[in-house]
Amino acid sequence: FQAEDGIRDVERSRGLGDVYKRQGIISWKKSSCMENFREIDKTTLKWLDKSIKISNKLLKKDKNNIEAIFYTGGSYGFKAEVYARQKNLIKTGYNALKGIKNLKKVQKIKPDLYDVYFGFGLYDVTAGSFPDIVKIITRILFIPSGDYQRGIEELKIAHEKGFLTKTISCYTLAYSYFYYEQNYNKAIECLESIIDNYPKCVDLRTLLINAYFYRELTTPAGEWKKIIQYIKDFKKDIYRRDLKLRSWWMDKFEFMLGYSYYNLKKYNKAKPLLESYSRKYRRKGESYFAGVSELTIGKIYDLEGNRKKAVEKYKNALKLERIGNLEAVSYTHLTLPTN
């Protein structure tokens, strides 16, 4: 089974329901970064509905057909995740509950089919990370609350002992480590264990670049050159494949390149990239990197001896998102030039 975007299944397909469900998953995995993600969402839901339809036909002949129950549960689970991205809480809850219900049937019939733990883990990690207000709403709607730590353990079981869900469990663990725990080392470890088998997967590569960048921001290890090369290789590949990523992602890569060049003291390369980024995100709330970009440009102007422009940039930085120590650093450089 070879998907058009290069996500490949290293195991033999186990039937039409399997193929339909995986085709849906593949469409969904392409979608989050793509310019036409809304259209891909529609395609994804269509494929998942086909999987459910085929599985239901099999279940009419044999209500204990374990593969059909598994494909049905998995498909409902992925439908729930698509709706969650669309912030449709009712459809998310409805599909998630149907997915969990079917996977529990599978577990009862065949306790050693460890792939069901992916669905359990995905639900627990996602629901367990909801803001408190959303958790209150889910209780009102009789949607079970999740447990983040339990979900992580369930995903580990699916990754270590599962058959169909080994890789996607590993990706979901990496996603969780990155976004929910900010544990960039663990995220990188997971991603690097699967990236060679799926070199064209957009989401894998964007998450790996992000993990390297954020790790370098928090615990510098001198990997700016590696980050630059990863971004250049990725951009070259998506241009070659004529993939259209959302402009927000392309702009973020522009910022990452500029900031990486700054840390390598290649200011002539850093400044135009950062200035281009800052021109696109001038208002508070448009990007959490906007303030950092203005601050960094100010430092470059200071190093070039243009104090007037540097002060202007430091003041701009204070009007934007004040992440990390941006506020303190900006105020410091308003009185003390960067050297």
Name the helix (H) or strand (E) containing 229.
Answer: helix 224-240
The average pLDDT across 245-266 equals 94
What is the C-alpha separation between 114 and 107, in angstroms, rounded? 8
For the stretch 86-108, pLDDT in tens is 888 789 888 988 999 999 999 99
Residue of 62, 97, 46 lying closest to 76 (CA atoms)? 97
Residue 10 has pLDDT above 50, yes or no: no
**Torsional sign, CA 299, 305, 306, 307:** positive
DSSP track, 319-331: TS---TTHHHHHH
Q: Is the pLDDT of residue 3 over 80?
A: no
Which residues does residue 245 pair with via DSSP β-bridges, in sequence order? 34
- Euclidean distance between CA atoms 165 and 284, whole angstroms: 41
Q: Are 291 and 323 in contact (CB under 8 A)?
A: yes
Average pLDDT over residues 69-75: 91
pLDDT band at 241 (very low <50, low <70, confident <90, very high): confident
Is the model's pLDDT at 58 over the cut of 70?
yes
Q: Give per-residue pLDDT as tens, 172-184.
A: 999 999 999 999 9
Give the whole-angstrom CA distance, residue 177 versus residue 21: 26
pLDDT of residue 338: 79
Across 2-16, 51-65, 248-262, least confident range:
2-16
State residue 139's pLDDT score: 54
Task: Please list the residues that pair with 66 across neighbouring strands.
Answer: none
Cβ neighbour number for residue 86 with a 10 Å cutoff: 12
User: Is residue 256 exposed (0-12), middle (13-18) or buried (19+ Cβ within 10 Å)?
Assistant: buried
Quick check: 1 pLDDT over 50?
no
Share of the chain above pLDDT 70, in %: 86
Q: Could you tell me which residues are beta bridge partners of residue 8? A: 2
At 2 the three-state DSSP class reads: strand
DSSP 183: -
Chain Cα centroid distance, residue 61 = 39
pLDDT band at residue 30 using 50, 70 and 90 as cut-offs = low
Q: Residue 253 pLDDT > 80, yes or no?
A: yes
Residue 258 has pLDDT above 70, yes or no: yes
**If you compute the radius of gyration of the chain from its CA atoms, what whole number of angstroms results?**
23
Model pLDDT for residues 290-338, shown as the tens digit of each residue: 999 999 999 999 999 999 999 999 999 988 877 777 778 888 888 878 7
Return the closest-CA partner of residue 118 out of 144, 157, 90, 83.
157
pLDDT for res 183: 96
Q: What does pLDDT average to over the chain?
A: 84
What per-residue confidence (pLDDT) applies to 244?
Answer: 87
- Distance (Å, whole) CA 31 – CA 42: 10
pLDDT of residue 163: 82
Residue 20 has pLDDT above 70, yes or no: no
Residue 280 has what pLDDT? 93
Alpha carbons 301 and 268: distance in angstroms, whole number: 11
Least confident of 13-17, 65-69, 81-85, 264-268: 13-17
Q: At residue 2, does pLDDT exceed 80? A: no
Residue 142 has pLDDT above 60, yes or no: no
Asked whether 297 and 275 are in contact (CB, 8 A), the reply is: yes
